[in-house]
Structure 1
């Protein structure tokens, strides 16, 4: 009990003794507390940590971006199309040596020699297979990447298979020239056939002409909607439509405009008006060209000759070119039809079909591209007309 009492007294003494010191300390003139140096050091250290983390993240992102860029470049380099030496062959009937030998002996010129896109030759291979060789010249494809793009596009064209599209059998690109090899069709082009009709050397009934029109529309529908990416012809005219022995049409010279800068698509009477103004070519531009071709099939007239007559008269406006204006100026639509097929033996239903076809040609040659049908719609109209 004495020890307990002593401890109580001791604690009270220490408490009472320390209280005045505390009061004296707090009653002085200086009442503010000095800053804590430990907190300042803590803030500086925290900022250094944040800066280190930010730099680390930035360095990591930069390294990741450069790594991805390097890998993509490496994969693109490894996966790029190898630049092959010699011809690209797409047909088992053609071998490289025989083709190279035939190209050295191109003597039989086909068609006009004034074609700005090059000349077309008939060539006989060692195995007896006859081909048509179109030599495009000159073309600027000396650079390696340009030649590689050409080779890739030729591989795409060589893989196309359709009864109304001319199959590319081989491609030879050497020494600044480009040779496209196709099957040889002795009937020639639609331009050749219509010239023979005007010279009374060939008779083309309406049934055959309608089948040609439907075949052209089928070929356009294939290029526009079944190819991925879609292919625009950009140079559709009778000389680029070949005919087989049964007068089944096949489109040729498509898919080359964007690939070959020097490919000539001169403003012709088959060119849509929007292409003359701003060179904006679409699938509806191909439809315009088809409309002019359909009028040629129906009237039998050459647009160039009609243009010369219209120029002498001072006519310069109207959709469908001078041929379209001539059709509109006819008193009766039937008067514009080709007289070689408008005989006494022609049935009234066939004549009615031709008049309806003239109206389809008028829609296809509308001044505004949005007013023209697409090739899908065009094919439906023509096939319904065929079964009319």
Structure 2
């Protein structure tokens, strides 16, 4: 389907019961974006991924923008571009990255967003800002709750409901006040009314993929919940989703964290860069919620609305029940032989399933 025909649907779409509003985005000319980014100068590059590159730019009125430029034009890239623009045009939430506009001229496909001065959560946990320790505990809790609220909006309030499919640290951007903005909707899927999941090609990032999605291609809101659980553990501990134990063995962040919780060693889960400056009760909430989100059985994971309540400390009875959950009672036995294959292939365990393997279209390893 052509981009123009998909986007016509966006212009005519509207939430039930609400009057139509003028869109807050606009169509940019290629000439305008060339000028704003100094002809996509290397010095303006903010980052690069499988999709292409993101550049900083400044418009004629002085406002700062970020421009995503697709690397290679193809029908597949065209579809991802159209999906992201459509979703961004539909949704408005303080914790979702806002669409400023787009450009589709010739074979160029570009999406324009507000510029986020503090870049991504990834840059502060593992990247260029990681040594600066700008993420104190209060900011981390705000990022956790803010990003949860953005994802909950997609799952429960957007019409139709939306699953993101690529929740990870590099897709949580931070504004000038370190408020979280969930970004990058190129892999997102609409969930039809009444559907429990959609079966689709597997796309995403190793370490964040829910097992049922990685092995069987079953995508649902629960898959985003799993990814968010991994993100919370990353936020609390400063560790990557998958880390090398030695030259041949890799360990997932859940396999590292769960035994420590079972043994009551919560303090060992806190990022050393915090130097002990955190609220113990909040750390406990963050870690327990993270682990219940990232458990293998999707039916036992909470919804994002439950997650928000738990993180805010508003559901005391639910949290007491969570503390007493069996998963936190007995330290699990971790098989190093299994861990050694964790990162190599997203469907490495799928051969044990009776159902056929899904088609793996795009799996990334987050550096």
Q: Same fold (TM over 0.5)?
A: yes
Q: 1:120 to 1:241 in 2, by over 3 A?
A: same
Give me the whole-angstrom Cα distance separating, in 2, the residues matched to 1:118 and 1:184.
17
1:323, CA displacement in angstroms? 0.8
Counterpart for residue 309 of structure 1: 245
Structure 1 residue 81 corresponds to structure 2 residue 8:
yes
Partners of 2:120 and 2:171 within 8 A in 1: yes
Q: Which runs of 5+ in 2 are unaligned?
A: 12-21, 191-200, 320-367
Counterpart for residue 169 of structure 2: 238
Partners of 1:298 and 1:337 within 8 A in 2: yes
1:72-118 Cα shifts (integer Å, max 9, x gaps): xxxxxx9x93999xxxx9547986463464367111443443x1111
**TM-score, reference length from structure 1:** 0.65
Query: What SS does the corresponding residue of 2:32 show, helix, strand or coil?
Result: helix
- Supply the RMSD in Å over aligned alpha carbons: 3.6
Counterpart for residue 14 of structure 2: none
Q: Residue 225 of structure 2: which of 269, 281, 287 is its match?
A: 287
Give me the whole-angstrom Cα distance separating, in 2, the residues matched to 1:354 and 1:226.
28
Give me the whole-angstrom Cα distance separating, in 2, the residues matched to 1:357 and 1:171.
37
1:340, CA displacement in angstroms? 2.6
Give me the whole-angstrom Cα distance separating, in 1, the residues matched to 2:250 and 2:25.
53
Partners of 2:69 and 2:110 within 8 A in 1: yes
Q: 1:246 to 1:231 in 2, by over 3 A?
A: same
Counterpart for residue 175 of structure 1: 106
1:142, CA displacement in angstroms? 9.4
Q: Which has the higher helix share?
A: 1
1:104-149 Cα shifts (integer Å, max 9, x gaps): 7111443443x11111111222222221001123243399xx77x9
1:207-257 Cα shifts (integer Å, max 9, x gaps): 211110000110001111111111111111111110011110001112544
Q: 1:232 to 1:199 in 2, by over 3 A?
A: closer
Partners of 2:118 and 2:174 within 8 A in 1: yes
Query: What SS does the corresponding residue of 1:382 show, helix, strand or coil?
Result: helix
Give me the whole-angstrom Cα distance separating, in 2, the residues matched to 1:142 and 1:384.
43
Counterpart for residue 123 of structure 2: 192
Q: Which has the higher strand share?
A: 2
Give me the whole-angstrom Cα distance separating, in 1, the residues matched to 2:202 and 2:83.
21
1:200, CA displacement in angstroms? 2.9
Counterpart for residue 341 of structure 1: 274
Give me the whole-angstrom Cα distance separating, in 1, the residues matched to 2:187 and 2:309.
28
Aligned residue pairs total 288
Q: 1:247 to 1:101 in 2, by over 3 A?
A: same
Q: Residue 64 of structure 2: which of 130, 149, 154 is its match?
A: 130
Pick which of 230-239 and 155-164 moved more: 155-164
Q: 1:291 to 1:150 in 2, by over 3 A?
A: closer
Bigger radius of gyration among the two? 1
1:385, CA displacement in angstroms? 6.2
Give me the whole-angstrom Cα distance separating, in 2, the residues matched to 1:175 and 1:240.
28
Give me the whole-angstrom Cα distance separating, in 2, the residues matched to 1:181 and 1:272.
30
Q: Residue 273 of structure 1: which of 211, 227, 230 is its match?
A: 211
Q: 1:93 to 1:258 in 2, by over 3 A?
A: closer
Give me the whole-angstrom Cα distance separating, in 2, the residues matched to 1:240 and 1:373.
22
Q: Residue 211 of structure 1: which of 142, 152, 158 is its match?
A: 142
Give me the whole-angstrom Cα distance separating, in 2, the residues matched to 1:381 and 1:328.
18
Counterpart for residue 39 of structure 2: 105
Partners of 1:164 and 1:248 within 8 A in 2: yes
Counterpart for residue 374 of structure 1: 303
Q: 1:255 to 1:385 in 2, by over 3 A?
A: farther
Give me the whole-angstrom Cα distance separating, in 1, the residues matched to 2:220 and 2:208.
14
Counterpart for residue 120 of structure 1: 54
Partners of 2:27 and 2:102 within 8 A in 1: no
